[in-house]
Amino acid sequence: MKKKQTKEKTINRVLLGLIVFLLAVIVISSIFYLRSSRPAVQAKKEAVEIAKKYANLEEADHFYWFTRKKTYFSLTGTNDKGKEIAVIIPKSGEKVKVLDQTKGLTENEAKQTIAAAHPEIQIEKAALGMYDDQPVWEVVGKETNGKLNYYLIGFESGDEVKTIKGI
């Protein structure tokens, strides 16, 4: 009888230890995730505030983080007149560029342009920013061997401005 009670206590302790361990892993993972996503959340919040101030942004549809020579935070959405706009904000917050979305490529059009020109790659993502004082879409594509290619295409023209392959 005592052996059975001892065995049950051991099983209960092991189960309790396992539950405590799993809870600790979940809590630590949650903290790590929240801390790692904080810079992006803060950047988006600040970008939206600046875009509201300088471009009368009413609703933000997409947020992009673009880094080439400099870092830019970009938003697409509608202004207070219902017009589709893109807002490109340097990390410094100065010289905000407001673009008429109807005069340039959308994210999907930029992806389609690169997909048509380079059918061998799988499109991963796109981001809007500035390169050599020109608004560009950076489209990232993955080759079949897993290497990444970066294509910068003009926001208005759709022409390839720069290509970085095999990273």
In this predicted structure, what is the pLDDT of residue 37? 59
DSSP label at residue 9: H
**β-strand pairing of 148-154 with 57-67:** unpaired
> How far apart (Å, rounded) are the C-alpha atoms in residues 127 and 63?
8
In this predicted structure, what is the pLDDT of residue 36? 63
In this predicted structure, what is the pLDDT of residue 48? 80
What does each of the 167 residues of the chain score in pLDDT, given as a tens digit? 566 677 777 888 888 888 888 888 888 777 767 666 566 777 788 888 888 888 888 888 899 998 888 999 999 999 888 899 999 999 887 888 888 988 999 999 999 999 999 999 999 999 999 999 899 999 999 998 989 999 999 999 988 888 888 77
Identify which of 107, 108, 112, 114 has the alpha carbon closest to the alpha carbon of residue 86.
107
CATH topology of domain 107-164: Nuclear Transport Factor 2; Chain: A, (3.10.450)
Cβ–Cβ < 8 Å for 58, 78 = yes
Cβ–Cβ < 8 Å for 134, 123 = no
